[in-house]
Amino acid sequence: MGSNWSDRRVVVTGLGCVSSLGNDASTLWGNVLAGQCGIDAVKRFDIANYDCRIAAEVRDFDPAPAFPSGKEVRRTDRFTHFGVYAGWKALEDSGLDLSREDLDQVGVYIGSGIGGLETTEEQHKVLLSRGPGRVSPFMIPMLILNMASGLFALYHKLRGPNFATCSACATGTHALGEAWATIKRGDAAVMFAGGTEATIVPLGMSGFAAMKAMSTRNDEPKKASRPFDRDRDGFVMGEGAAVLVLEELSHAQARGARIYCELAGYGNTCDANHMTSPDPEGAGAARAIQMALRHAGLPTEAVDYINAHATSTPAGDMCEVQAIRRVFGEHALRLAVSSTKGATGHMLGAAGGIETVICCKAIEAQVAPPTINLDHVDPACPLNCVPNVPQERRIDVFVKNSFGFGGHNAVLVGRKFNG
């Protein structure tokens, strides 16, 4: 990396989201701070025979305002509805006037861990019941996971760098990190980046349940997702999307943009350990955190808050604790480390995006959001995990961790913007 790379600074100027706790960043943040939980019994289909019957569903959602026509809505999968809508909300929040931008310099990286699973499921039923001639000609463009990224660019004529990340539950954070790097390289002035997911469908729910990865606390949905808690028994699936607007600093300043924070570093490593299980020592995650801090030019002591990946699985949460202790040493005890998945469920490919939105609001408000349902902290977790209530505290630097099946580790470092 030459000096040109390091001289370019990247800031966050727009936040957009779709979630079980609200379809804009302020509503989401208010509900997270209030200790609300978006998890309930699944309503989208008959869940009676399933091991896990709870999820954090998006309710009362209308994608139409973000799409050119009702026809476009009908020709797209639910995951694309979420991604395009979150991008539209981020655009609105940023105050960008695209009619005044060089659209060759505006790009989109909206990833998805799984893509159009509902379309896959529905069209397979059509194939079996009615034959190959009745499969929709829109099936492929509906299910491929790059379509949220492609269509958002199409609807807004954004001709800059564009692709979709796919790295399971690290997807959204990878999208943001790659967008950061694209602006740092000088290949774009503005990037829309994040993740989207819509897997609360029969195939998705049964597949994750078959892995014994999901909570079966069906009688207490609001208490089921409990990161770092001694009694956790698996994750709870969520759905939705989050897209952030990243801008090169001078571009943002020239238009008088409100700046949430500076995105300062990005780490990207692999455990190379197991198909689905993280490295038990947390070594790969630790290297990603160290890489992100190195890019940011910050010592470990500068970090104030970590938004943890912690999904409420017995093994995963403790691997992350190991990584944090490995990197931060004694300073780990002075950090606030919370997981907001108790509130939102685990949004898979959208998780890193929604949690980075929460980090931006945390740095704005100088409040560490709570880990809800943390009633009995796991004895193997000697950290301040912000149990149940928010903590007002100085947050100048945050770290956002995301880890995915396949051993993928993605980490962002953000800092309070100072001139």
Let me know if residue 32 belongs to a domain.
yes
Collapsed DSSP state (helix, strand, coil) of residue 382: coil
pLDDT tens per residue, range 321-380? 999 999 999 999 999 999 999 999 999 999 999 999 999 999 999 999 999 999 999 999
Residue 256's CB is within 10 A of a number of other CB atoms, namely: 7
Same domain, 113 and 228: yes
| Cα distance between residue 181 and residue 175, in whole Å | 10
Instruction: Decide if pLDDT at 1 tops 60.
Output: no
Tell me, what DSSP letter sits at residue 223? G
Confidence bin at 5 (pLDDT 50/70/90) = low
Q: 222: which residues sit within 8 A by CB, 6+ positions away?
A: 37, 39, 40, 373
Question: Is the residue at 381 inside a domain?
Answer: yes
| Same-domain check for residues 223 and 368 | no
Which one of 254, 286, 303 terminates a domain?
254
| 283 and 185 within one domain | no
Q: Which helix (H) or strand (E) holds 286?
A: helix 283-296
| CATH number of the domain that residue 307 is part of | 3.40.47.10
CA distance 388 to 179: 33
**Residue 4, pLDDT score:** 59
Please write the tens of the pLDDT for every residue from 220-265.
999 999 999 999 999 999 999 999 999 999 999 999 999 999 999 9
pLDDT digits (tens, 9 = 90+) for 119-152: 999 999 999 999 999 999 999 999 999 999 999 9
The band of 405, judged by pLDDT with boundaries at 50, 70 and 90, is confident
- Beta strand pairing status for 336-338 and 305-307? parallel
d(CA 337, CA 128): 49
- Read off the pTM: 0.97
Claim to verify: residue 277 and residue 239 sit in the same structural domain: no
Residue 193 sits in which domain range?
3-254
For residues 386 and 272, membership in a common domain is answered with yes
Task: Outline where 61-192 has alpha helix (H).
Answer: 70-74, 78-94, 117-130, 139-143, 147-156, 171-185
Q: Which two tokens stand for residue 107?
A: 């790009």
The catalytic residue positions are: 169, 309, 346
* pLDDT per residue as tens digits for the range 15-39: 999 999 999 999 999 999 999 999 9
Beta bridge partners of 38: none
> Is residue 104 domain-shared with residue 146, that is, in the same domain?
yes
Indicate whether 230 and 330 sit together in one domain: no
Q: Are residues 109 and 243 in the same domain?
A: yes
CA 416 to each of CA 69, 174, 247, 358, 400: distance values in angstroms, whole numbers, following the listed order: 39, 21, 15, 14, 14
CA–CA gap between residue 234 and residue 282 (Å, rounded): 19
pLDDT score of 70: 96
